Structure 1
Amino acid sequence: MRFVIVGPVYPYRGGIAHYTSRMAQAAIEEGHEVKVISFARQYPRFLYPGKSDRDPSQEVMRIEADYLLDPLYPWTWERAIKEIDKFSPELVVIQWWTTFWAPAFGWISYRLRNHIKVAFLIHNVVPHEARFFDPWLAKLVLRQGNKHIVQSESQRQRLKELLPKADPVLIEHPLYDQFAEKRMSKEEARRRLGLPEDRPVLLFFGIVRPYKGLTNLIEALALVYQEGYSPLLIVAGEFWEDVEIYKRRIKELGLQEAVRIYNYYIPNEEVPVFFSAADVFVAPYTGGTQSGALKIALAFGLPVVASEGIFIGSNMTFEKEKKHAKLAPRSISESITLYIKTSSYREVGDNGNLPNWSKVIEHILYAI
């Protein structure tokens, strides 16, 4: 099939860029003709909360793309439409994760939908930290799609609330297996990070935002120490809020030797090091329904302690050995303590039944 994917790829960073690249790569490997339309600029600098939206990695996944779109310049939207029409695809797949791109994506889908099928691949119907107008913007844009693809039951329900007549296809988010291919021994990974070999290591990974629940995790860690256990918590990712707030609380709880913070965007070549060093992956999110970092953890076979919403949102009912944790620190600490007491953090789960990228392409192209 001949189709277009609209979304970020390298040199842009983050989970959506990884997703777009991995999806395009899989489609090309399956023999499909693919054109990727990406961004000349993803966000104006003054609106981006991180240090940069560019990927600093030395090891990158390069996908050929036309870098055409700017969120503020409508003439670039028209340029992208002309390139899409010139390619004559059977389908255009637009990545949807933020309402910031609502004007551009809304216009593009409106102009194409009557002569080319347009599908929105939805990561979040509305942003994680939604504002009052986000549902309205999401509805305005997503109703332009001929088809909608969601990756969790909760997002399917959220979409139906906005668009009752929508008939979304549910396709589970596959693993980010490109990192697990470069796994190393636990001893080597901990040597590189300067971590002790005789302590259980908990990994909290990714951009730190309020909904990720790091505050609750730190409180839970204090409770674990009160029980007489001494795991080491690794926080690996750039903070999009004041890191000093967390450092002060860590100090107040006497956890300075229990937490190590790596406050920067983790480049691709370092991702396998952190996940290879870990015993348990923790994702005590207070909001959101799925996690790209969780998909990396599962690819590494790591046990997971996460809030129930993340388990359900990631369709993880098959992972019966994984323990659910509610949002309260006490519940999180009990789940962590259980792994430590039973040494089950050393077990590697069987993730062979998880969907791969080829299956995603198959569903996208033939289920719509």
Structure 2
Amino acid sequence: MKITILGPAHPYRGGLASIMEIMARTFLRRGDEVLIRTFTLQYPSLLFPGKSQTVTTPPPADLHITRCVHTVNPFNWWRVGRQIRRDRPDFVLLKYWTPFMAPCFGTIARLARRNGHTKVLCQIDNVEPHEHHLTDRIFNRYFLRTVDGFVYMSEQVHRELEAYTRAPALFSPHPLFENFGERVPRAEACTCLGFDPALRYVLFFGLIRDYKGLDLLLDAWAELKRSGRTEGRRLVVAGEFYTAREPYLKRIADHGLQDEVLLHDRFIPDADVKYYFSAADFVVQPYKTATQSGVTQIAYQFCTPMVVTRVGGLAEIVPDGRVGYVCPPTAEGVAAAIDRMYEGDTLERFRQNCAIERRRFSWEEMCSRITELYRTVAAQQQ
């Protein structure tokens, strides 16, 4: 098949770019022809909360990546859409995670499918965004109603999607992030990060946004500290702030946690991710809202147990009491789950179970579902 992938890719950084590149490689291994069309501009600098959107590493030599999409230039959308229409791929695969992309993606999709051959498929992360804006529903309708079929990764997303469209939709769980490598010995990981191997580490990982509940985790840690249950342990917060930093620093200071919270508040390069997950006893995702999360799949990649809150689709991916604990999205709930992780042989048992559970998260399965979706859509439209 001839496939155009439209979304983040090199030189754009982060998990979304990794996902699109890994899917492209998987389709290539299956014998498909794949072109990735990525951005010349993804977010205007005024709308981007981080320090940098791109990396300086060389582009991957095994992928055909073209930078051609400008998300805020309607004339560019017409040019790209017409080009894809002329190229006549069997399908365009888009990654959709925010309504901000809807005007751009929706216009390109409408133009591309006018050739009567190309289908528009979407791997969808979110329908309703975590941080809401007045234009969300208008933008969602514009994009979602032009898509021929969807692959979703949580039932919450599927339910939200059905409010906009009845296009075919198939479930496939978020695959593992194999691009981060394999687990390394804990001592090696601690050395690389400058950690004291005599201490135990609990990890909060990823971009820091308010909905991810770092405040709940800090309150939970303070509760554990007051009862003397953090001795010999440290909380590692590894990720760049995409929200105001000061309220979190104040919370740390107010709770007297300066010596117990290791704040690595920066973008974590791909090459360093394995050290954080190999050094940590477990990772905590104290989210207040969620659909699914790439952090759980990184944890599975490194067989790192998890504490997650009972929101969105997190509990679908993290079986409670098997690879971690699912708890209420409260400081008390998170504190209790952290405490339980250190009981008996829990951590070792959960690590072993992670190695079993991870087998169901494969990129081959994801690409098979996308191919199945394409065939379903093509058959319906004949």
- TM-score between the two structures when normalised by the length of structure 2: 0.90
Is the Cα contact below 8 Å between 2:300 and 2:358 reproduced in 1?
no
Residues 139 and 299 (structure 1 numbering): CA distance in 2 closer, same or farther, change over 3 Å?
Answer: same
Instruction: Summarize deviations over 1:244-266 as a string: whole Å, max 9, x none.
Output: 22122112112111100011111
Partner of 1:191: 191
Q: Distance between the aligned counterparts of 1:232 and 1:58, measured in 2? A: 36
Of 201-210 and 242-251, deviating more is 242-251
Contact map agreement 2:82 2:112 (CA 8 A) in 1: no
Residue of structure 1 equivalent to 2:20:
20
Aligned pair partner of 1:292 in 276, 294, 302:
294
1:96-119 CA distance string (max 9 Å, x none): 111112111111111223421111
Q: Secondary structure at the match of 2:236?
A: strand
Which residue is 1:179 aligned to? 180
Q: Is the 8 A contact 1:9 1:18 kept in 2?
A: yes
> Post-superposition shift, 1:59?
9.9
Counterpart CA distance in 2 for 1:41 and 1:360 is: 28
Higher mean alpha-carbon deviation, 194-203 vs 344-353, is at 344-353
Whether the 8 Å contact between 1:289 and 1:313 is mirrored in structure 2 is: no
Q: Report the secondary structure of 1:320's partner residue.
A: coil
- 1:137 maps to which of 136, 139, 149: 139
For this pair of structures, how many residues does the alignment match?
Answer: 366
CA RMSD of aligned residues (A): 2.0
AA partner of residue 365 (structure 2): K
1:166 aligned onto 2:167: yes
**Contact map agreement 1:2 1:33 (CA 8 A) in 2:** yes
Q: How far apart in 1 are the matches of 2:249 and 2:59? A: 31
Rounded to whole Å, the distance in 1 between the matches of 2:358 and 2:332 is 32
Show structure 2 runs of 5+ residues with no match: 375-382
Residues 1:339 and 1:57: Cα distance change in structure 2 (over 3 Å):
farther
Alignment partner for residue 303 of structure 1, among 292, 302, 305? Answer: 305
Which of 358, 363, 366 pairs up with 2:369?
Answer: 363
Query: Which blocks of at least 5 consecutive residues in structure 1 are unaligned?
Result: none
Query: 1:62 Cα deviation (Å)?
Result: 6.7
Q: Which residue identity lines up with residue 187 of structure 1 in the other structure?
A: A
Structure 2 residue identity aligned to 1:364: I
Looking at structure 1, the residues matched to 206 and 265 of structure 2 have their Cα atoms a distance apart, in angstroms, of 10
Residues 1:112 and 1:57: Cα distance change in structure 2 (over 3 Å): closer
Indicate the residue corresponding to 1:228 in structure 2. 228
Whether contact under 8 Å (1:291, 1:310) holds in the other structure is no
Q: Supply the AA of the counterpart residue of 2:364.
A: S
CA distance in 2, matches of 1:342, 1:170: 36
Question: Which residue identity lines up with residue 89 of structure 1 in the other structure?
Answer: P
Shift of 1:161: 1.9
CA distance in 1, matches of 2:239, 2:58: 17
| 1:18-167 superposed matches below 5 A | 18-55=18-55, 63-114=63-114, 115=116, 116-163=118-165, 165-167=166-168
State percent identity of aligned pairs: 31
Select 2:330's aligned residue among 328, 331, 336: 328
